[in-house]
Structure 1
Amino acid sequence: MDGLTPFAGYNLAIGIVVALELLYFLSLEASVAAYRRFVLVTVAGVTLAVIAGPIAELVAPALVHWVHAIAALLVVFGLYDPVTNDTRTTEWARVLLSEPSRVRRPAEWMTPMDDEILAAFHDTGLALTPSVVAFNTGFSRKEVNRRLIELEAHGFVDKVERGKYRLARRGERYLRGQFRTGSATDDEGEDDSGIRG
């Protein structure tokens, strides 16, 4: 190691800035990263490329290509599922919001599973049973049923008849990032039109 050249210093500085931005993104979207492993795999690949690449260039230049190859594989596996031959388009569409200003703020009672359940209703626009939701989200029917009861109690889904639910206006507004949850006043002063009284 002969010292830090300007080019290597620039790479290292850019890598640190990008890594800090990624950590900030993950802190904002903790619920996303908590249960969507492909996001963590992609972020790990990008972080490895931008941080470990410049560090390897300084410490062990012979390993730079290996570090970049491993980082590229992580990014590819985050964007592509080789088992099902799927590019994860739907999953990434759910993660990336159409408007960055509309960040969902889940209430304390909510779990990461709730976003997936609500999205299943939103994608179909139909009344669904817990079994259908469980099949399409990959969760157990028992877990989905328990969460649907909780979501109904808070007005995010409506029970249309025995064993069938539909996305309520409040749930739709939550998915679009237009409904802030988390405080008692959120539920008290707001009607179904989203106007506070």
Structure 2
Amino acid sequence: MVGLDPFVGYNLAIGTVVALELLYLLSLEAPVTAYRRFVLVTVAGLVLAVVGGPIVELVAPRFVHWVHGVAALLVVFGLYDPVTNDVRTTEWARVLLTEPSQIRRPAEWMTPMDDEILAALHSTDLVLTPAVVAFNTGFSRKEVNRRLIELADHGFVEKVERGKYRLTRRGKRYLQGQLQTPPSTDTEAGVRS
């Protein structure tokens, strides 16, 4: 390592800037990464490619292809789910096709399942039973029923009659990213908007 090749130096500088930008974006949008782990896998692959590649090229140029190969695998696994043999188009559309200011900020009591339940109710705009929601989301009816009760307690869905729920305006506002801080206490839960 007598001197720094200008091309390697340029790659290292650009890679560092891109990696810092990606990490800054992730720090701003923590709910995205908390609920969608595949984003972290993809970003890890990108950071490894843009920073790890030039560093390995400086230190051990023989291994640069290995680093790029591992980085490519991470990116592929972030974009593709090998367990269900499915490209994550829907998940990435949710992340990329919304403005950063409109990314949902779930309350502390919420789970990733809640977003899917609310999205199922929103996509049909119908009154649904826990069994129908469970069938369409892939969760058990018991889990969905428990989460629907919690969502109803916080005003995101309303119980129309025994065992039938629909999305409220508050739930729609949350899905659209317009509800910045969902209520986390029982006193605020009774407020429906």
Alignment TM class, shorter chain as reference: 0.7 to 0.9
Distance 1:128 1:36, change over 3 A: same
Q: How far apart, CA to CA, are the structure 2 residues paired with 1:146 and 1:122?
A: 19
Local SS of the residue matching 2:51: helix
Summarize deviations over 1:55-110 as a string: whole Å, max 9, x none: 11111111111211221122122212344332211111222242233232222332
- Aligned equivalent of 1:174: 174
Summarize deviations over 1:26-73 as a string: whole Å, max 9, x none: 223323322433222211211111121111111111111121122112
Distance 1:125 1:3, change over 3 A: farther
Local SS of the residue matching 2:86: coil
CA contact (8 A) 2:104 2:175 kept: yes
Q: How far apart, CA to CA, are the structure 1 residues paired with 2:140 and 2:23?
A: 31
Q: How does 1:11-160 map to 2 (within 5 A)?
A: 11-160=11-160
Summarize deviations over 1:122-162 as a string: whole Å, max 9, x none: 22222222233233333333332222112111111111221
CA contact (8 A) 2:107 2:182 kept: yes
Q: How far apart, CA to CA, are the structure 2 residues paired with 1:137 and 1:148?
A: 13
Q: How far apart, CA to CA, are the structure 2 residues paired with 1:151 and 1:164?
A: 13
Local SS of the residue matching 1:66: helix
Q: What letter is aligned with 1:37? A: R
Which 5+ residue runs of structure 1 have no aligned equivalent?
A: 193-197
Q: How far apart, CA to CA, are the structure 2 residues paired with 1:2 and 1:141?
A: 65
Q: How far apart, CA to CA, are the structure 1 residues paired with 2:163 and 2:28?
A: 35
Q: How far apart, CA to CA, are the structure 2 residues paired with 1:128 and 1:191?
A: 19
Which 5+ residue runs of structure 2 have no aligned equivalent?
A: none
What TM-score, normalized to structure 2?
Answer: 0.84
CA contact (8 A) 2:157 2:166 kept: yes
Aligned-pair Cα RMSD in Å:
2.5
Q: What letter is aligned with 2:112? A: P
Count residues with an aligned counterpart: 190
CA contact (8 A) 2:31 2:104 kept: no
